[in-house]
Amino acid sequence: MTSRAVKRAFRYRFYPSPEQAGELARTFGCVRLVYNRALQARTEAWTLRQERVSYNATSAMLTAWKKTDELAFLNDVSSVPLQQTLRHLQMAYTNFFAKRAKYPTFKSKKTSRKSAEYTTSGFRYRDGRLTLAKMAEPLDIVWSRPLPEGAAPSTVTVSQDAAGRWFVSLLCDGRVEQAPATGAVGVDVGLDSLLTLSTGEKITNPRHERRDRAALAKAQRNLAKKEKGSTNRAKAALKVARVHARITDRRRDYLHKLTTRLVRENQTIVIEDLTVRNMVKNHSLARAISDAAWRQFRTLLEYKADWHDRNLVVVDRWFPSSKLCSACGALAERMPLNMRSWTCRCGTAHDRDVNAARNILAEGLSVIACGGGVRPQRESSRTGQSSAKQETPGATQAIPVL
């Protein structure tokens, strides 16, 4: 058994004291302010003078802002998260100019994620106790699982979600055991069954949102009755956020277990390249597709396959997996969504989803065996690297995961 060095983030819930909560709230506000001011300065410089402003220039602006009476309060919080938000802005511009992302947008006090990132100069971690800059006492963290032995955090990110819960994420260098695995599996995603495997197994779609739909609707009706800007409206909004958080937590936990199982049991995994953002434009299916979280499933599968040195093959979205007979290769003329089983001209009876999963597997294995062409793969905004090696439009892509 071998192991691989990776960077892993360990996320824990914590309960700040009133003083710590106040300090973090001020920090979140200052981070948002600095980001928005730097974005405005860079936008105006380009619009008015066709001038690109670098990270170093925005860092110098931050120093000047701190010396003004208007923004002197920026000195009251740690400087590390303020510098980090400028680095995040620089990365956003890098991704924009590389055409990996849209133009950066301003952070909203109401809707943007509340977070602050600390590097090693902004926190102290000793004997399982984490203390942030500008704080006298360590955070009261619920250590739901231990950090790897000897692990030392290189970055700490503190955040608060819409439900009012506080989280701290510790980025550490660690190692992942790469247990050997054999076999290959094709995966077809769906709504009736969340996943259908080429082995014939169907994994039930738990429909997390549907389970709490009544509670969510009640909380949203209660919110709609409250006066905007009132304290009661804020309390009602918090109840809605808690229902959403419960749904999100269950969905994430379920997908983590599924992807971990697939990666541990199979050396090669073949999936379809689906454009979820286009599929949710179908208003009849948008809610169910969003609840299934196919994009999140693929994201988890990608990095876990990378960690465990598995082969992840992505079949082109136009490959006719449902209409193709997995026995004789004949292509059916039409296959409406309500047709869940069909019989080929060769006499083979097919379950629509199982047949699709088998075709997806066969197509993926042919790419590996024959060296099929790959489609240009969109670059990752995280790494800035494209996973494509050739440019053959319309073909299947065999990609190394991000």
Does 75 lie in the same domain as 10? yes
**Looking at residues 289-305, what average pLDDT do you find?**
94
Same domain for 113 and 138, yes or no, is yes
What element of type H or E holds 351? strand 349-351
pLDDT score of 116: 97
Pick the more confident residue, 399 or 159: 159
Same domain, 68 and 40: yes
Q: Which of 171, 183, 40, 51 is nearest to 103 (CA)?
A: 40
User: Given a cut of 80, is residue 395 above it in pLDDT?
Assistant: no
Residue 383 has pLDDT above 70, yes or no: no
More confident residue, 229 or 396: 229
pLDDT computed for residue 270 by the predictor: 94
pLDDT tens digits along 175-202: 888 888 888 999 999 999 999 999 999 9
**pLDDT tier for residue 113 given thresholds of 50, 70 and 90:** very high
Mean pLDDT, residues 248-260:
96
CA distances from 397 to 239, 275, 392 (A): 44, 15, 9
3-class SS of residue 215: helix
Q: Does 353 participate in catalysis according to the annotation?
A: yes
pLDDT beyond 80 at 294: yes
Residue 344's domain comprises 184-209+242-398
Answer with the residue of higher pLDDT: 2 or 184: 184
More confident residue, 236 or 284: 236
Angle between helices 231-265 and 213-224 (to 10 degrees): 150
Looking at 130, 162, 178, which one is the last position of a domain? 178
* Cβ(141)–Cβ(168) below 8 Å: yes
pLDDT tens, position by position, 324-352:
898 888 888 888 888 888 888 888 899 99
Is 376 within a domain?
yes
Q: Exactly one of 23, 117, 188, 379 is catalytic; which is it?
A: 188
What pLDDT does 368 receive? 80
Q: Which helix H or strand E contains 160, and what residues bound it?
A: strand 155-160
Same domain assignment for residues 139 and 202: no
pLDDT at 375 over 80: no
The answer to whether residue 318 is domain-embedded is yes
Residue 2's pLDDT is 81
Whether residue 275 sits in one domain with residue 371: yes
Q: Please state the domain count of the chain.
A: 2
Among candidate residues 302, 353, 363, 379, the one labeled active-site is 353
- 339 and 370 part of one domain: yes
What's the pLDDT score for residue 388? 37
Domain assignment present for 236: no
227 within a domain of the structure (yes/no): no
Percent of the chain at pLDDT exceeding 90 = 70
Mean pLDDT across 263-285: 91
247 and 347 fall within a common domain: yes
Q: Does residue 229 fall inside a structural domain?
A: no
| DSSP, residue by residue, 84-143 | HHHHHHHHHHHHHHTTSSPPP-PPPTTTS-EEEEEEGGGEEEETTEEEETT-SS---EE-
Task: Say which DSSP state 10 is in.
Answer: E
Look at phi and psi of residue 65 and say left if phi exceeds 0, alpha if psi is from -120 to 50, else beta.
alpha
Catalytic: which of 23, 117, 272, 291?
272
Residue 188 known to be catalytic: yes
pLDDT at residue 318, as a whole number: 86
DSSP SS3 for 322: coil
Q: Average model confidence (pLDDT) for the chain?
A: 89
Q: Summarize pLDDT for 346-355 with one digit per residue, the tens.
A: 888 999 999 9
pLDDT surpasses 70 at 158: yes
Listed residues 158, 178, 198: the one ending a domain: 178
294 shares a domain with 169: no
3-state percent helix, strand, coil for the chain, nearest multiple of 5: 40, 20, 40
Q: Are 105 and 252 in the same domain?
A: no
Q: Are residues 271 and 145 in the same domain?
A: no
Look at residue 371 in the predicted model and tell me its pLDDT. Answer: 62
Q: Is the pLDDT at 391 greater than 70, yes or no?
A: no
Are 129 and 37 contacting, i.e. CB atoms less than 8 angstroms apart? no
- Same domain membership, residue 107 and residue 88: yes
Cβ atoms of 189 and 195 within 8 Å: the answer is yes
Answer with the residue of higher pLDDT: 401 or 235: 235
Q: Is residue 226 part of a domain?
A: no
Give yes or no for a contact between 118 and 132, defined as CB atoms under 8 angstroms apart: yes
Indicate which CATH number applies to the domain containing 192: 3.30.420
* Lowest mean pLDDT segment, chosen from 41-50, 98-107, 115-124, 393-402: 393-402
The per-residue pLDDT for range 66-83, each reduced to its tens digit, is: 999 999 999 999 999 999
What integer pLDDT is reported at residue 382 of this predicted model? 47
Q: Judge if 163 and 304 occupy the same domain.
A: no
Distance in angstroms (rounded) separating the CA atoms of residues 279 and 111: 25
pLDDT band at 397 (very low <50, low <70, confident <90, very high): very low
- Confirm whether 215 is domain-assigned: no
Structure confidence at residue 392 (pLDDT): 35
